Structure 1
Amino acid sequence: MTGPDGRVANGRFLVEDTPLAGLKRVQRFPLEDARGALERLYCSSLFTACGIDAAIAQINRTRTYAAGTVRGLHFQHPPHAEVKFVQCLRGAVFDVAVDLRAGSPTFLQWHADVLSRDNLTGLLIPAGFAHGLQTLSDDTELLYLHTAAYTPEAEDGIDALDPQLAIDWPLPIAERSERDLALPHIHPDFTGLSA
């Protein structure tokens, strides 16, 4: 159900728009009692309510040991472009999505939210976005739900320190992978990802 403020209440989730069209902030609401809690991490009706007509093809979990670590910015080219639903199960991250969609009015703009175990917030990232993050605490764990399986020949990325994006990473960068250090800046001729 969509309210007048654009927020969608769906079972145990509250979905809110971000400044980038299609990118959604998802708040989870666990059921708690004296025994503990039950938390729904995904429901197909959440995707349906957000206009996503794709099934989950792959689920991944990452664990990052040190605060300040940056991962990304990663994406897959069509036809292997994917919707990602990212949630933090332990610790906290500064989670970033960059709009790479050709013709989008927010092309090359980014949005970030803090996702944490405590705030129970996730990001629902449409196809055509690059994704990256910086850990804000040690021993951070994320759950990723993908609508397309990892396809090595379709994978790509952008340097998380590309000055054209000017992402304001909140901590000094402690570590990046060799793969991420080799990612390029946005080429001047890049016009975006097609659907």
Structure 2
Amino acid sequence: MIFTETDLKGAFVIDLELKHDHRGFFARSFCAQDFEAHGLKPTVAQCNLSFNHKKGTLRGMHYQIAPAAETKLVRCTKGAIYDVIIDMRPESPTFLQHFGVELTDDNRRALYIPEMFAHGYQALTDGAEVVYQVGEFYTPGYERGLRHNDPFFNIQWPQEVTEISEKDSNWPLLRMMSVGGTR
């Protein structure tokens, strides 16, 4: 695996190192030792699968707070998505900054998301399928979210949002939240 740290400390784009032969290829997509060597938490508490009927579908921006803060390793296994993270760690020099990357079944990239990062994505193709390895159990009482179109962040989603859940469209704007004493 090839680990490339993003501008947001602790968040990595992970590319596969493909070993080709006449049958196709083989690649390691997860190794606890490699993750630990890069200072990442290798814990996997759950694996989730998300399927999106229509391109333009948006899911997010979700995160969980302590004591249920979660890491995520996200990979698109069918189609394509635009994946976005926002650093919600008040002590971080990149607090409230965001990063986006295209994950596709063709580029086989993954995004490692540290604890206290809001996460969301937009399906760029019909039938986009996404696998998440999550480092903590889903705990509704500790779930938080941000609105995908919050003007504070000005995230440039690549397509018009065609589908979004009621819950995701009703997350508060940042200016209405108390985030580490900010705003």
TM-score exceeds 0.5? yes
Partner of 1:111: 99
Confirm or deny: 8 A CA contact 1:69 1:135 kept in the other structure. Answer: yes
Instruction: Provide, for residues 2-40 of structure 1, a one-character-per-residue CA deviation record: whole Å limited to 9, x for no partner.
Output: xxxxxxxxxxx0000111111111001233322233332
Going from structure 1 to structure 2, the CA distance change for 1:131 and 1:172 (only over 3 Å counts) comes to same
- Return the alpha-carbon distance in structure 1 between the equivalents of residues 168 and 21 of structure 2: 43
Following superposition, the deviation at residue 54 of structure 1 comes to: 4.7
Q: Which runs of 5+ in 1 are unaligned?
A: 1-12
Q: Alignment partner for residue 69 of structure 2, among 64, 81, 87?
A: 81
Is the aligned partner of 1:55 residue 2:43?
A: yes
Is the aligned partner of 1:169 residue 2:157?
A: yes
Partner of 1:3: none
- Return the alpha-carbon distance in structure 2 between the equivalents of residues 41 and 65 of structure 1: 26
Which amino acid in the other structure matches residue 25 of structure 1? V
Matches within 5 A, 1:5-20: 13-20=1-8
RMSD after superposition: 1.6
Following superposition, the deviation at residue 188 of structure 1 comes to: 5.0
Farther-moved stretch of structure 1 (109-118 vs 43-52): 43-52
Instruction: Provide, for residues 57-115 of structure 1, a one-character-per-residue CA deviation record: whole Å limited to 9, x for no partner.
Output: 11111111111111100000111001111011111111000000012111111000000
Confirm or deny: 8 A CA contact 2:149 2:155 kept in the other structure. Answer: yes
Task: State TM-score, norm by structure 2.
Answer: 0.93
Task: State TM-score, norm by structure 1.
Answer: 0.87
Partner of 1:5: none
Partner of 1:142: 130
Farther-moved stretch of structure 1 (28-37 vs 55-64): 28-37
- Return the alpha-carbon distance in structure 1 between the equivalents of residues 79 and 177 of structure 2: 38
Confirm or deny: 8 A CA contact 2:10 2:40 kept in the other structure. Answer: no
Confirm or deny: 8 A CA contact 1:29 1:120 kept in the other structure. Answer: no
- Return the alpha-carbon distance in structure 2 between the equivalents of residues 140 and 60 of structure 1: 14
Farther-moved stretch of structure 1 (27-36 vs 145-154): 27-36
Following superposition, the deviation at residue 126 of structure 1 comes to: 0.4
Is the aligned partner of 1:127 residue 2:115?
A: yes
Identity percentage over the alignment? 38
